[in-house]
C-alpha cells in the first residue's frame, strides 16, 4: 500500500496531532466538571433566586443533565460528517463550539439583571456544550490513532483518554482555588465566572494547535481513492453490528461504573460516613490524579499484548472491587475511601478506558470508523450515566450496599462478555475498499 508522507513514522505532525487531540479532550471534561460543580453550588442562587432551594437545585441539575439528551444525536451527526468530510474539520468546529459556549457562560448575566432570559440562555449554552462535546472525544481519538505509528496506536490513543482525568482535576482545582480565595458574596457575585473565562483561554490554545492540523493519513487515502462512504452510519450498522453492540455495552458499563465511583460514591460516603466536603473533594482529585498517572501505561501495555486482554482485565478488576469499595467506606477512615477510588476508578476503569477506543478504531475501516465509535460510545455512555445513578439511589435507600455491589458485578460481567465477542483482529483497512465493500463486508469470526 502506498503511504503518504503524513503517514511516515518520522512525520513531525504526529506529536502535534497527539497534543491537539489531547487538549480538546481536556477542555471537554474541564467544561463538564466545571458546569457540574457550578450547577450544584452557584447556579441555583444566580439563575433561580426566587425558587425554593430544592426547586432551584433541581432546575440547575436539569440544565446540567440536558447535555446528555442532545449528545447521542449530535454525536451521530458529527461523526457522519467526520467520515464524509474529514476528522480535522469536525474537531476544529467542536472545539470552537465548546470554547465559545463555556466563555459565554462566564459572561452571562444573572436572573436579577435580565430576568427569565438568564436561565433560558444558560440552557442554550449548555446545549451548545453538549453538541460540541458529542463530537470531540471520538474525533480526538481517531486523530491520535490514525496519525500514530502502527506499533504505538495504543499509547497514542490513550492520550485523549487523559481528558476526563486531567480536565476534571484542573476544573476542580481552579474552582477550589477561586472559591477559597474569595469571600462568599464575592464568589457568588463574580468569582465563579473566572473558571469559565479561563476555559475560553484554554480553548484559544487548543485552537492554535488545531488550526493547521492536517487531515489524518487514513482519511486522506480513502478520500484520494474515492471510497469515503456517503451513509457511514447506515453502513457501519449493516456491516459491523456485532462490534457496535459489543462496544455499546462496554461503554454503557463504563458510564455506569464511572458514575458510581466518582459521583455517587463520594456522595454516599458523605451521607453514611460523615466525611466533610473537603475530604470528598480530595477523594475525587485522588481518583482523577491516579487516572492521569496510569492511563498512558495501560495504553502502552495494549501495544505489547492483545488489547482485549487489557480491557478484559479491567472488567475482572471491577468484579473483584465491587464489594470492597463500599467496605472501605468507614467513618473516621477517609483513607479507605481514597484507596477504593484508586483501585476502581484509577486502575480498573483506566485499564478499560485507555485502550478501548483504539481497539474499536482498529476493528473498523476508516470509511465508517468515526460513526461506529460515536454510535457505540455516545449511546452507551448516555444510558449508563443516566440510568445507573438512579438505580444506585434506590438500591441504597435503606443504607445497605450489597444490592448495588451486585449490580456493579453484573455490569462488569456484561462488559467482560462483550469483550469476548470482539474479533481478535481485523485486517488492515485497505484504501481501495469500495463503498459497496464497506457496506457489505461481514465481520470476521473470533479466532480465540
Q: What is the pLDDT of residue 181?
A: 85
Q: Which residue has the higher pLDDT, 439 or 252?
A: 252
Distances (CA, A) of 143 to 24, 41, 133, 215: 11, 36, 16, 8
Is pLDDT at 406 greater than 60 in this prediction? yes
* Model confidence band, residue 50 (pLDDT cutoffs 50, 70, 90): confident
* Model confidence band, residue 14 (pLDDT cutoffs 50, 70, 90): confident
Q: What is the pLDDT of residue 319?
A: 97
Helix spans in 331-401 (H): 334-341, 350-363, 369-395
- Least confident range from 32-46, 140-154, 229-243: namely 32-46
As a whole-number percent, the residues of the chain with pLDDT over 90 amount to 39
Q: What is the pLDDT of residue 444?
A: 44
Q: Name residue 330's beta-bridge partners.
A: 333
Is pLDDT at 425 greater than 70 in this prediction? no
Grid cell for residue 74: 449530535
* Model confidence band, residue 314 (pLDDT cutoffs 50, 70, 90): very high
Q: What is the mean pLDDT of residues 376-404?
A: 84
DSSP letters, 240-292, are -HHHHHHHHHHHHHHHHHHHIIIIIHHHHHHHHH---HHHHHHHHHHHHHHHH
372 in Cβ contact with 364 (< 8 Å): yes
Q: What is the mean pLDDT of residues 91-113?
A: 89
Q: What is the mean pLDDT of residues 157-181?
A: 86
Is pLDDT at 431 greater than 50 in this prediction? no
Q: What is the pLDDT of residue 171?
A: 86
- Read off φ and ψ for residue 333, nearest 5 degrees: -135, 70
Is pLDDT at 13 greater than 80 in this prediction? no
Q: What is the pLDDT of residue 446?
A: 41
What integer best gives the mean pLDDT of the chain?
A: 84
Burial of 427 (0-12, 13-18, 19+ CB in 10 A): exposed
> What span, in angstroms and rounded, lies between the C-alpha atoms of 78 and 132?
9
Q: What is the pLDDT of residue 3?
A: 39
- Quickly count helices (H) and strands (E) in the chain: 21, 0
Q: Which residue has the higher pLDDT, 47 or 281?
A: 47
- Among residues 152, 153, 177, 97, which one has the least CA distance to residue 129? 97
Amino acid at each position: 500500500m502506498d503511504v503518504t508522507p503524513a503517514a511516515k513514522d518520522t512525520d513531525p505532525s504526529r506529536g502535534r496531532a497527539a497534543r491537539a487531540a489531547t487538549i480538546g479532550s481536556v477542555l471537554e471534561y474541564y467544561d463538564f466538571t466545571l458546569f457540574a460543580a457550578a450547577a450544584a453550588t452557584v447556579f441555583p442562587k444566580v439563575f433561580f433566586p426566587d425558587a425554593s432551594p430544592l426547586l432551584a437545585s433541581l432546575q440547575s441539575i436539569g440544565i446540567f443533565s440536558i447535555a446528555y439528551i442532545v449528545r447521542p444525536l449530535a454525536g451521530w451527526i458529527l461523526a457522519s460528517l467526520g467520515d464524509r468530510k474529514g476528522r480535522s474539520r469536525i474537531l476544529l468546529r467542536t472545539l470552537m463550539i465548546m470554547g465559545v459556549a463555556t466563555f459565554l457562560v462566564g459572561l452571562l448575566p444573572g436572573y436579577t439583571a435580565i430576568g427569565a432570559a438568564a436561565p433560558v440562555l444558560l440552557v442554550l449554552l449548555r446545549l451548545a456544550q453538549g453538541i460540541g462535546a458529542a463530537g470531540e472525544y471520538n474525533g480526538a481519538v481517531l486523530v491520535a490513532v490514525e496519525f500514530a505509528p502502527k506499533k504505538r496506536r495504543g499509547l497514542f490513543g490513550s492520550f485523549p483518554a487523559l481528558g476526563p482525568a486531567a480536565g476534571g482535576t484542573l476544573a476542580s482545582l481552579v474552582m477550589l482555588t477561586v472559591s477559597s480565595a474569595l469571600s462568599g458574596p464575592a464568589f457568588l457575585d463574580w468569582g465563579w465566572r473566572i473558571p469559565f473565562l479561563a476555559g475560553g483561554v484554554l480553548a484559544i490554545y487548543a485552537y492554535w494547535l488545531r488550526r493547521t492540523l492536517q487531515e489524518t493519513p487514513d482519511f486522506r487515502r480513502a478520500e484520494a481513492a474515492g471510497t469515503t462512504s456517503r451513509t457511514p452510519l447506515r453502513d457501519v450498522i449493516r456491516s459491523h453490528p456485532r462490534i457496535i453492540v459489543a462496544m455499546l455495552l462496554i461503554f454503557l458499563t463504563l458510564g455506569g461504573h464511572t458514575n458510581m465511583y466518582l459521583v455517587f460514591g463520594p456522595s454516599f460516603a458523605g451521607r453514611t460516613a460523615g466525611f466533610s466536603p473537603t475530604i470528598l473533594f480530595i477523594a475525587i482529585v485522588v481518583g482523577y490524579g491516579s487516572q492521569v498517572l496510569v492511563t498512558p501505561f495501560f495504553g502502552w501495555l495494549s501495544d505489547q499484548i492483545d488489547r482485549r486482554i487489557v480491557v478484559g482485565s479491567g472488567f475482572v478488576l471491577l468484579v473483584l472491587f465491587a464489594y470492597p469499595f463500599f467496605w472501605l467506606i468507614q467513618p473516621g477512615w477517609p483513607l479507605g475511601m481514597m484507596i477504593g477510588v484508586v483501585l476502581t476508578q484509577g486502575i480498573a476503569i483506566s485499564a478499560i478506558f485507555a485502550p478501548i477506543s483504539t481497539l474499536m478504531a482498529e476493528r473498523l475501516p476508516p470509511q465508517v470508523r468515526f460513526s461506529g465509535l460515536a454510535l457505540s460510545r455516545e449511546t452507551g455512555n448516555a444510558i449508563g450515566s443516566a440510568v445507573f445513578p438512579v438505580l444506585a439511589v434506590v438500591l441504597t435507600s435503606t443504607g445497605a450496599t450489597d444490592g448495588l455491589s451486585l449490580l456493579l458485578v453484573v455490569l462488569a460481567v456484561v462488559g467482560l462478555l462483550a469483550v469476548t465477542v470482539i474479533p481478535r483482529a481485523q485486517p488492515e483497512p485497505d484504501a481501495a475498499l469500495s463503498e459497496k465493500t464497506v457496506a457489505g463486508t461481514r465481520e470476521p469470526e473470533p479466532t480465540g
